[in-house]
Chain A
Amino acid sequence: MAPVILRARRALKRALARAPALALFAAGITFADSSLETTVKAVDLCKFAPFVDWPPGAIGPPHTPVVLCIVGNDPFGSVLDRAVARQQVGDHPILVRRMTVAPPNPPCQIMFLGGSPTQPIADALRLEQNAPVLTVTDGSNPAGVIDFVVDQGRVRFRIDEAAAAAHGLMIRAQLLNLATSVTPRPRAH
């Protein structure tokens, strides 16, 4: 547990330095393991973008936002909004949009699938499987391109390169190196 706490504290300190409002929240989650884990996941969710290459045209011209959709159940709430405020992908700010179901041709580049009674994660994934969207799930099966896992008390993630390829995405090696496991893309291409 200790690494998670330490990491969370570091993240909190960083947050405190820049966002006093977050400090209040952070103080609140220090004592709850699940909220700490969620906070870490929220922060990580905002950090994937620099290490993912979308197909041309998937991301708009400079200064247009990169949209992060929270589909279905939203475990992050305002924590995510705070984290997103500090993140940027090059010239692009990150914008959070929440929606109940994943639509075809989604208006977002990153999609967290929290699952919903009306649209199970598997359905959403199937629907979006060829869309230029980085799908993220949290310990789900089937999983998105990136799937959060907790490994030895630390929040980490698995990466499915094959799925990424289907989405037309390229995951940078720097990120792959941090993954607990990588499902390689099909060899014959």
Chain B
Amino acid sequence: MSGAPFRIPRTRRLMVVISVSVLIAASLAVAFVNEAVHRSETLDVVRVQAGVLAQTVPAALSFDDAQSLAGYVQAVGFDPRVRSVGIYDQSGRLTASYGDAPPSLASDPMVGASSDGFAALAPVIAKGVRLGTVYLTYRPESIDRRFARYFGPAILVVMASMMFLVMGLDARALMGANVELKRQMAEREKVEAALRQSQKMEAVGRLTGGVAHDFNNMLSIVMGSLDLLIGRLEPDREPRLLRLANNAMEGARRAANLTQRLLAFSRRQPLSPASADIASVLAETADLLRRTLGEAILVETVAGAGLWRARIDVPQLESVLVNLGINARDAMPGGGGLTLEASNTHLDAVYAEHEDDVTPGQYVMIAVTDTGVGMTPEVMAQVFEPFFTTKPVGQGTGLGLSQAHGFIKQSGGHIRLHSEVDHGTTVKLYLPRSMEDAPAHTAAIERSADASRRNVTILVVEDEPGVREFTVDALVDLGFDVLASDGADEALRLLGAHPQIRVLLTDVVMPGVSGKALAVEAQRQRRDLIVVFMTGYTPDAIVHNGVLDPGVRLITKPFTVARLGAEMDLVLASRG
């Protein structure tokens, strides 16, 4: 996971190399000079020794005192460095010696420093009378001694070089660690930002969902009552009242639409995902967009062959795509191109790790690309928030993209934005792949509604009196026999007392025993009982991850009388 390999600055490496080189060169030079000095000093010592001996021996040499000469020579020989000593008389004859046999003076012996050692000649003079010659040689310095002499400085040089190297390596490691730390900090910041964003969306979603739920219940009452009112108003006799009622109904529908979108954003709208052919969805949506957006926008679709099927609620997807199309049009006031593109994609673990809330796996990706004005990063950071809009007041609800976001997330997908100012925007929707084949189209059951409704008793359980009354009225209008209860206990009693009840239509969220628990108990007593839930809100009780449990029927509040009738016909038909 390491980032780009970092490099030590060249100057720093160069400095270490130069320092070590200079250190070694300097120490070699010092060693060389030291060696030369040491040799010349040793030679001086040899000369002085020879001179001292020459100063000591004149009398002994002059008087041919071999014993004294031997004594002097022996004394000099105590110095372990002395290899040989020779004392020659006036005629060049060797009169005393020590160590290695000294050469004959006639052979012009070596003097000075050489690899062989050190040698010096000194004349023996007394009162200007040359009495003889002293020849003194030193051994060359032994390897041991030389080593001992250089060991200390050599150790220092080696240690200093090591220190330089270690310092260099330390600096390298430190820089590496620094780079890694910065990278991790950046990564963490990114992840934290994503988490904050996600938490914010979650909080806003929960708030929105709560408000929308209560609002939906009230809208159910309003719309239901208006529905019944409109049904009972005779157009000929009270045209004005009918028009007012229709206006009210239209307003209520729009409010219902809005709450629906809020629920979509908060991922609480009941979805009915099914295996869908995305290519055909794109084609249909493109047709719709071409008609809607006008001729200034060129709409194109690109769908690769062998496109997988996706598991998605198609009407909702279409709604999202239309919303995106409208956004694109608004971003291209002078016209432009809109491309709907679909392809198979695999999001791997590495990608998932860097994105918030993404499951690795196979996806069908839909990219909606426009050639519009694009967005700045600041705008992009906020577009998924509800009621955020860049459009003039009154032109947009600020719910389009947040609805899309909620819907895609609820569907187990993933949404990504790419935008560059002045170049355009791409919205990518990743829809989970479906391994199912196309669902078999069940032939619509065509039956006379009135016939099927006759002698069918429905038990309505709803704690909200307004909703309960409207529902009961609607069902009665539709031709059903209806019993009503405000809670589970009463409902179970009625079920026991009226075996003719065929359908239990119950609210999900109620004080005390929930609709789900009631349904389970009721079906335990009456296996053939048909259960239909009414809800404006889909808690986990009946919906897992926004997907209905198989076999569970659901009618979404607020609903119209016609929709209620259609749903009832459907469940009755499917049970024969």
Contact = CB atoms under 8 A, between A and B. Distances in A.
A17 B129 CA distance: 19
Contact of B59 (A88, A91, A172): A172
B91 interface: yes
Nearest to A176: B59
Contacts of A91: 128
Given A14-B91, A174-B56, A177-B68, A89 B63 contact: no
A174 B58 CA distance: 7
B126 interface: yes
B64 A88 contact: no
Interface residues of B, number: 18
Contact of A90 (B59, B60, B68, B129): B129
A177 B64 contact: no
Contacts of A49: 127
Contacts of A14: 91
A177 B69 CA distance: 11
Given A90-B128, A174-B56, A174-B126, A47 B62 contact: yes
B68 A178 contact: yes
B35 interface: no
Contacts of B63: 44, 47, 178
Interface residues of A, number: 20
Contacts of A25: none
B549 interface: no
Given A14-B91, A17-B91, A177 B127 contact: no
Contacts of B58: 50-51, 174
A51 B60 contact: no
Contacts of B68: 177-178
Interface string A129-151: 00000000000000000000000
Contacts of B65: 178
A88 to B, nearest CB: 6
Interface in A56-77: none
A96 interface: no
A113 B147 CA distance: 64
Contact of A175 (B59, B66, B129): B59
Given A51-B58, A172-B59, A177-B59, A10 B128 contact: no
Contacts of B64: 7, 10-11
5 contacts: A10-B64, A14-B91, A47-B62, A91-B128, A172-B126
Interface of B: 55-60, 62-66, 68, 91, 126-129, 131
Interface of A: 3, 7, 10-11, 14, 17, 44, 47, 49-51, 88-91, 172, 174-175, 177-178
Given A90-B127, A174-B59, A174-B60, 11 more contacts: A10-B64, A11-B64, A17-B91, A51-B127, A89-B127, A90-B128, A90-B129, A174-B57, A174-B58, A174-B126, A178-B68
